[in-house]
Structure 1
Amino acid sequence: MKKETKADRVIDITRSINSPVKAVWKALTEAKELERWFPLKANVTGEEIQLSWGSDVNWHMEIEEVKEEEYLRLGYDESHHRIVSAVPRRLAVEFFLHGKDDVTTLRIVHKGFGGEESWDEMYDGVRRGWGTESLSLKHYLEHHAGKDRIVALASIQTDGVSYQELWDKLIGGHLRINGNHYAWDTPVDETYEGRLMFYNEPQDLLGTMQDFHNSLFRLSIERFAPGGDIYIWAWIGAYGVPEKEMKELEKQWQEKLNLLYHVQH
């Protein structure tokens, strides 16, 4: 039996989505649909998919193979491997779809990661990222299909501290988890609670906001390059909420993050 090495690392995630395969396919391949669950901005041409989350966080992927409503393969440009290594590698993500009775099984396979230690954080970040984003896709299609998403996004850049220290300052002892339900007394003086979808202390929290239009809240603590600064992102993705209300939420979160982590503007 072949012994698995770091160079063999593959991210492999399967989700069952209560939505027809046609709708799941559109959510993966159309710019407007992508923006309803994944990036802040998307652009799709016949050859490339471009995704952006702002703050210079951009993905450029070439469309390498398409089998309508069954299979999609996207290859990453060199900017991805150059973040962590001068040795060229071709990263790729594949989507396999199988639909039956208006339920779609979606399998996401992301591969091509290097085995060197410099790849560890990128691999872990992408693994956690697909874990949460695939749930965001499922939530969108099962509860808000066809509706535009409005995002409140607050973020800060920190240095010189650990993930755990950043997490403890933000979460403290204010998070209560009971099975798949969470309640968090947030720094913005509101209690968020709902279904806990993804939890990975000290870096990730994803859950519904049951009393706020069944929106999604996501907390992510990330480092995008070896030895780089750590970023904290607090997201609320909502459907059917006025943009003005979301901008106010974004402002509240940004002010609170700046205060907690002593960021001056």
Structure 2
Amino acid sequence: MAQRLQEPHRSVGTQIEISASIAQVWAALVDANELVRWFSPVAKVSPGLDGHIEVSWGGAMTASWWIEDWQPLHFLQLREDKPLGGSADGSFGDDLASFRRLKFALSYDDGRTTLSLRHGDFAGDQSFLAWIKRGWEFELLSLQHYLVNHAGKPRRIAWLRRRTLRPAAAVWNQLMQALVVEPNCGRSGLHVRQSVAITLGAAEIAPGVIVICDPPHQLAVTMADHGGELLRIKLFVQADGSVDIDLWMAAWDNGRPRLAGFARHWKDLFAGAGVELDQRGQDIDQIGGDPICELEGCGQSLDANKVELV
């Protein structure tokens, strides 16, 4: 049972069932070549007790942890070394860094592995904690999607990030109108399993299934054809009221042509009337201009991951 945290320090937790062996799920957490197939585009791991895990999405979007407890196939506890993005709204202060833990517990029953996650302590308010939890809910869903549908296969990513001064609700509605044909993401829930049609280009519409619907924060869709890609639309409101927009699609096997086509559609969307940009949108984490790494051999994970950041 997780220890009850006193105010103002809080933790977030979530869990997921995966139709995969406990060995597969454990490897996905502690093997760099597996991490890049569902989590970060770049990963480095020194396994075992007192080892180290580092993950990166480029630029300041890097996090690392020391391995504090290592019980293969059962439990992994990490002590935060570098929080993702450094300082965020004062919630990642150095006074908490040495106390923050990331815990993974695994159990297996009837052909399924249950993975439970707890991340704390945080000094942020409820909205900040909700942002942390949303991130983990999507990442664990990505892990589930990878192991159930694409285990052992390399991943490619198309990712566009922009910033706007428009209200989040208005941006969300415009993105839904531009990318989601019918039905719209109008009710919240995890694993909604609601059929949807997604616009992949000017003349291409493809079926998908909504797996996360959390307006106006994030939408996740698994594509029913086209190789089973995973699409994410995410909005994050900064302290100054500006809104970061992330459009992300992951594909396994040979997904580069499809990703390139979708990326062009996204760029057209942003360049046209789809979303008005604040000028800072070109500078966030070096994304939005040239790729921050080449397609082949990106980062520290050898050739296990193929990344296209656009």
TM-score of the superposed pair, with normalisation by structure 2: 0.74
1:40–1:122 CA distance, 2 compared to 1 (3 A): farther
Match of 1:235 in 2: 248
Distance in 2 between residues matched to 1:257 and 1:107, nearest whole Å: 37
What's the counterpart of residue 75 of structure 1? 79
- The residue aligned with 1:209 is 223
SS at match of 1:227: coil
Q: After TM superposition, list the pairs within 5 Å mapping 1:1-265 onto structure 2.
A: 7=8, 9-46=10-47, 47-77=51-81, 79=83, 82-85=87-90, 86=93, 88-89=95-96, 90-114=99-123, 116-117=124-125, 120-158=126-164, 160-172=165-177, 174-176=181-183, 180-186=193-199, 188-189=201-202, 190-223=204-237, 226-227=239-240, 229-259=242-272, 260-263=274-277
Q: Find the aligned partners of 2:270 and 2:232 in 1 and give their Cα distance.
A: 14
* Structure 1: distance between partners of 2:116 and 2:35: 17
Q: 1:51-94 CA deviation, whole Å, 9 max, x = no partner? A: 11225311122222111111111122355573232461132210
* Ranges in structure 2 where 5+ consecutive residues have no aligned partner: 186-191, 283-310
User: CA offsets per residue over residues 151-203 of structure 1, 9 Å max, x none?
Assistant: 11112122x32211110121138440596223245373333432211110011
How big is the shift at 1:4? 8.0
Name the amino acid aligned to 1:22: A
CA 1:8–1:122: 2 relative to 1, 3 Å: same
What amino acid is the match of 1:130?
Answer: W
Q: Aligned partners of 1:78 and 1:151: how far apart in 2?
A: 24
**Aligned 8 A contact 2:198 2:208 in 1:** no
Deviations 1:185-244 (A, max 9, x none): 537333343221111001111111112111111111124x53364211111111122424
Q: Count matched residues.
A: 258
User: Is the contact between residue 75 and residue 91 of structure 1 (CA under 8 Å) also seen in structure 2?
Assistant: yes
CA contact (8 A) 2:196 2:209 kept: no
Are the counterparts in 1 of residues 78 and 103 from structure 2 also a CA contact under 8 Å?
A: yes
Structure 1 pair 241–78 and aligned structure 2 pair: CA distance change class (3 A): closer
One-letter identity of the residue aligned with 1:23: Q
Contact 2:223–2:231 (CA<8 Å) still a contact in 1?
A: yes
Distance in 2 of aligned mates of 1:92 and 1:59:
13
Give how far 1:8 is off: 5.1
Whose helix proportion is higher, 1 or 2?
Answer: 1
CA distance, structure 2, for counterparts of residue 191 and residue 218 of structure 1: 16
TM-score by length of 1: 0.86
Partner AA of 2:199 in structure 1: T
User: Residues 246 and 78 of structure 1: is their aligned pair in 2 closer, same or farther, counting only changes over 3 Å?
Assistant: closer
Q: Kindly indicate whether the alpha-carbon contact (under 8 Å) linking 2:62 and 2:82 is maintained by their aligned counterparts in 1.
A: no
